[in-house]
Amino acid sequence: MITVIKKDGAKEPYDEEKLRNSIIAAAKDAGFDEDRIRQVVNNITQKVTDRISGEEEVASHRLREIILRELDNIEAEIADAWRKYEAAK
pLDDT in tens, 4-28: 999 999 999 999 999 999 999 999 9
Taking phi over 0 as left and psi of -120 to 50 as alpha, with beta for the rest, 31 belongs to: left
Burial class (CB in 10 A: 0-12, 13-18, 19+), 72: middle
How many other C-beta atoms are found inside a 10 Å radius of the C-beta of residue 25?
15
pLDDT in tens, 36-71: 999 999 999 999 999 999 999 999 999 999 999 999
Q: What is the reported pTM?
A: 0.90
Q: Which residues of 37-62 are buried (b: 16+ CB within 10 A; e: fewer)?
A: beebbebbbebbeebbeeeeebeeee
